[in-house]
Amino acid sequence: MGYRDNMQPASFRGVPFKVTDSEMVGGRRLQVNEYPQRDKPYTEDIGRKAREFTLEAFVVGDDYMAQRDRLLAALETPGAGELVHPWLGRMQVCAGEFRYRESAEDGGMCRFSIPLTESGDLTFPSAQSNVATTALAKADAMQSLAENRFAEVISTAGPDAIGTSLLTDLQATWKTWGDAVGLVTGVLDSDLMDAIHDPKLFAQKLFNLATANIPILGSARALYGKVTGLLRAAAMLDRGRGWSASTVGMPLTPVQIARNEGATDALFRGLSVVTASRIAVQAPAGVYDDTDAMRSQLMSALDREQVLMSQADAAASVDQSAVSTRSSDATVDADGNALSDAELAALMPDAAYTVARGLQQAVSVCLRQQMANEARLVTITPVDVLPALVLAYQLYEDPLRGDEIVERNQVPHPGFVPVEPLKVVSQ
- The H or E element containing residue 109 is strand 109-118
What is the C-alpha to C-alpha distance for residues 316 and 417, in angstroms, rounded to an integer?
Answer: 58
Q: Quick check: is 312 in a domain?
A: yes
| 382 located within any domain | yes
> Does one domain contain both 164 and 261?
yes
Q: What is the pLDDT of residue 377?
A: 75
Cβ neighbours of residue 197 under 8 Å, at least 6 residues apart? 156
Q: Are 332 and 323 in contact (CB under 8 A)?
A: yes
| Residue 194 or 330, more confident | 194
Same domain? For 91 and 156 the reply is no
Q: What is the pLDDT of residues 83-109, one digit of tens each?
A: 999 988 889 999 989 999 998 888 889
Q: Confirm whether 158 is domain-assigned.
A: yes
Residue 162 lies in a domain: yes
Same domain, 85 and 200: no
- Within a domain: residue 192? yes
Q: In terms of pLDDT, which residue wins out, 284 or 110?
A: 110
Q: Give CA–CA dist 288/370, Å, rounded.
A: 8
Q: Does 368 have pLDDT greater than 80? A: yes
* CB-count exposure of residue 319 (10 Å: 0-12, 13-18, 19+): exposed
Residues 95 and 191 reside in one and the same domain: no
- Do 135 and 113 lie in a common domain? no
Please check whether residues 304 and 398 belong to one and the same domain: no
Instruction: Tell me the C-alpha to C-alpha distance, in Å, between residue 381 and each of 134, 156, 386, 415.
Output: 42, 62, 11, 16
pTM value is: 0.61
- pLDDT given for residue 331 in this prediction: 47
Residues 6 or more apart in contact with residue 183 via CB below 8 angstroms: 213, 214
The per-residue DSSP string of 298-341 comes to HHHHHHHHHHHHHHHHHHHHS-GGG---B-SS-BB-TTSPBPPH
> CA-to-CA distance for 327 and 425, rounded, in angstroms?
43
Q: What is the CATH number of the domain that holds 80?
A: 2.40.30.200
Instruction: Determine, yes or no, domain membership for 322.
Output: yes
Burial label for 39, CB within 10 Å (0-12, 13-18, 19+), is exposed
Domain co-membership, 112 together with 210: no
Report DSSP state, residue 216.
-
One DSSP character per residue, 45-99 reads EEEEPPPEEEEEEEEESTTHHHHHHHHHHHHHSSS-EEEEETTTEEEEEEE-S-E
Domain boundary among 371, 390, 417: 371
234 and 328, same domain (yes or no) = yes
Strands 109-118 and 99-101: antiparallel
Task: Tell me what pLDDT residue 161 has.
Answer: 66
Check residue 324 and give its pLDDT.
36
Instruction: Report helix, strand or coil for 128.
Output: coil
Alpha carbons within 13 A on the beta-carbon side of 160: 0
**Which residue, of 371, 387, 402, is where some domain finishes?**
371
Specify the DSSP class assigned to residue 199. Answer: H
Asked if residue 26 belongs to a domain, the reply is yes
pLDDT value for 68: 92
Q: What is the pLDDT of residues 156-181, one digit of tens each?
A: 776 666 777 888 888 888 888 888 87
| Closest by Cα among 296, 311, 313, 312 to 371 | 296
Q: What are phi and psi of 18, to 5 degrees?
A: -100, 150
Residues 153 and 47 in one domain: no
Q: How many domains in the chain?
A: 3
Q: Is 304 inside any structural domain?
A: yes
Question: What's the pLDDT at 114?
Answer: 92
Beta-strand relationship, 89-95 and 28-33: unpaired
- The reply to whether 399 and 324 lie within a common domain is no
| 304-340: pLDDT as tens digits | 888 888 777 766 665 343 333 333 344 444 455 555 5
Asked if 256 and 361 sit in the same domain, the reply is yes
Choosing from 118, 146, 176, the residue where a domain stops is 118
Same domain, 217 and 136: yes
The Cα 227–Cα 276 span in angstroms is: 5
User: 3-class DSSP state for residue 224?
Assistant: helix
Domain that holds residue 399: 377-425
Helices (H), 119-159: 131-153
